[in-house]
Structure 1
Amino acid sequence: RGHHHSRAQVLERAALALRMRQFAEAEQLAAEVLMASRTDTAAASILARALIAQNRGVEAIAPLEKAARRSSDVSIETLLGAALGSAGRRAEAVEQLRRTTARRPPFTPAFQELAGQLAKAGRIDEAIAVVESGLALVPETIDLQLDLARLHLHHNARGKAREILLKAREAAPGRPEILTALARVLVLDGEYAAAADACRHALGLRPDDAMTRADLAACLLEMGERDAGEAHLRSALRNRPEMLGRTTYALATSSHGRFFFRPSAVAKFLQG
């Protein structure tokens, strides 16, 4: 077809597009590779991720089923479970993912995907059991520890969540997600100074994380540090106009916040 790109080059471009959240482009490039070689698991994987990201999981099922039959690749099977779930076929998704979590060596994302599907269905205890079974096999996996902490928070088991997150922070001090999750637990326990500290550390690792900046602002407002809180809210909003809801919420719910009748007034205030 006139272009001389090697399959590897096209796949690399597709993977890059996916990372940059350019899902339509990733989809198109991966589909191109699959037309030429129907068995390419890397292309099937990128195509599926791009479709799921566009809420078109239904379309990802057939190519994934084909790839799974040919390769029995755990990551393809896990994506198939995700696609089935996003297409609303949860029972099949759970069945598929249970099979994949039974494979050895264990594939961590399969446990995460299965737990996520169960949690979405409100089956939190089952989700916790899945994550715990994964951690029994690979205890040092930070992603599973984070998931377990978040699931405990669903049940408002804050002590358990805190214990897991403090251990995780020791093991992986460079992971901002641990710090932001810990900050949420501390906020729920009313420990605003400690939460603000965790947020600051997370922002040190990821300065453009607007959500965490809004959380920090909420902590500062709770502590009565209104000017600092409002300054952080402004900067959270500057990069991310879609953060208006979160920042408005922080201002309105904080005991030392401000009250506005109209969202436009908040926007004006924060952008002022």
Structure 2
Amino acid sequence: MDDTQTLVRRAAAAVNSGKPDEAQRLCEQGLARDPGDPVLHHLLAAVLFSRGVIVPARAHIDVSLAKRPNNAPARLLAARIERTEGQFDAALVHLDAAIAISPQREMFVEKARTLDMAGLRDQARGAWQAILKVIPGHQEATAQLGRMAWEDGDPATAASLLAQATATDAPASVWFNLGLARQDLRDHDGAADAYRKAFALKPDHAEATLNLGISLQEVGDMDAAMDAFGKAYRLRPQLFGSIAMALTSASHGRLWLDEDALRRALSG
């Protein structure tokens, strides 16, 4: 029969190999024999958290931290668990402790994310700016500062930062935000390119194809605009009102007097 340390090594190897079932079984086997082992509790918390099983994950990481309060990776995991549950103050306490123990870049990025999610805009902005000073070109920091600039009504700064963030592989959300900034600058061709990229990366992104339709309409390409509006409508029929408004209010639009006819055109 394997001893606890052997089970820990096997469980960690299973986690790293993408075998959560085996990892969970080994952790539970080890804890049945040694209920207080902090490493097994930590590993089991990580496996459960990866599966979205939050309450038991929190219980296990709490036991681990009670035995090893100065373990930075355990503090980081505890912060992520608390953040998932919207417990931002508790998450920040864990992150500050982790940074005090082991001030690694990952910890500062996690703190910036948490401040952002908590709606602490000034602190989040400062945290993202600090990351960008230490790691010039950091994609996430650049993208988040670009988003904040757009939210603050500065589309020119936003477009510049978001364009930098999309210079390497970027998620759909960053391309979508770039589209918003370019749209506000009336760069409709550039906005359309950004929305196309967002939709290609996330084919269920109804807002991206809706805004693509608006941008195409602004440059007078009504056939392509109607195609984009149709995709948006089929993905989310609740956008019908936004589509109808766009079609009748833009400089290049079409007047639809028959709502059912418009729905049929979009459904086609």
Displacement after TM superposition at 1:87 (Å): 3.2
Question: Which residue identity is paired with 1:148?
Answer: L
Q: Is the 8 A contact 2:99 2:108 kept in 1?
A: yes
Question: Which residue identity is paired with 2:105?
Answer: P
Residue in structure 1 matched with residue 6 of structure 2 by the alignment: none
Matched residues, number: 241
Task: Indicate how the Cα distance of structure 1 residues 44 and 59 shifts in structure 2: closer, same or farther if over 3 A, else same.
Answer: closer
Question: Which residue identity is paired with 1:61?
Answer: R
TM-score (normalizing by structure 1): 0.69
Matched, 1:249 2:255: no
Q: What SS does the corresponding residue of 2:186 show, helix, strand or coil?
A: coil
Residue in structure 1 matched with residue 88 of structure 2 by the alignment: 90
Structure 2 runs not aligned, ≥5 long? 1-9, 32-38
Q: Is the 8 A contact 2:48 2:57 kept in 1?
A: yes
Of 151, 157, 171 in structure 1, the residue corresponding to residue 154 of structure 2 is 157
Residue in structure 1 matched with residue 182 of structure 2 by the alignment: 186
Structure 1 runs not aligned, ≥5 long? 1-5, 15-27
Instruction: Report the Cα distance in structure 1 between the residues aligned to 2:24 and 2:154, rounded to whole angstroms.
Output: 45
Q: Is the 8 A contact 1:64 1:80 kept in 2?
A: yes
Instruction: Report the Cα distance in structure 1 between the residues aligned to 2:49 and 2:198, rounded to whole angstroms.
Output: 31
Residue in structure 2 matched with residue 36 of structure 1 by the alignment: 29
TM-score (normalizing by structure 2): 0.70
Displacement after TM superposition at 1:9 (Å): 5.4
Task: Indicate how the Cα distance of structure 1 residues 34 and 194 shifts in structure 2: closer, same or farther if over 3 A, else same.
Answer: same
Matched, 1:232 2:228: yes
Matched, 1:106 2:101: no
Greater CA deviation, 187-196 or 216-225?
216-225
Displacement after TM superposition at 1:31 (Å): 4.3
Instruction: Report the Cα distance in structure 1 between the residues aligned to 2:22 and 2:263, rounded to whole angstroms.
Output: 40
Instruction: Report the Cα distance in structure 2 between the residues aligned to 1:196 and 1:215, rounded to whole angstroms.
Output: 8
Matched, 1:72 2:77: no
Question: Which residue identity is paired with 2:115?
Answer: L
Task: Indicate how the Cα distance of structure 1 residues 251 and 29 shifts in structure 2: closer, same or farther if over 3 A, else same.
Answer: farther
Displacement after TM superposition at 1:30 (Å): 5.9
Task: Indicate how the Cα distance of structure 1 residues 230 and 122 shifts in structure 2: closer, same or farther if over 3 A, else same.
Answer: same
Task: Indicate how the Cα distance of structure 1 residues 139 and 113 shifts in structure 2: closer, same or farther if over 3 A, else same.
Answer: same
Q: Is the 8 A contact 2:155 2:181 kept in 1?
A: yes
Instruction: Report the Cα distance in structure 1 between the residues aligned to 2:146 and 2:88, rounded to whole angstroms.
Output: 24
Task: Indicate how the Cα distance of structure 1 residues 166 and 221 shifts in structure 2: closer, same or farther if over 3 A, else same.
Answer: same
Of 219, 225, 245 in structure 2, the residue corresponding to residue 223 of structure 1 is 219
Matched, 1:48 2:49: yes
Instruction: Report the Cα distance in structure 1 between the residues aligned to 2:263 and 2:118, rounded to whole angstroms.
Output: 36
Q: Which has the larger radius of gyration?
A: 2
Displacement after TM superposition at 1:114 (Å): 2.8
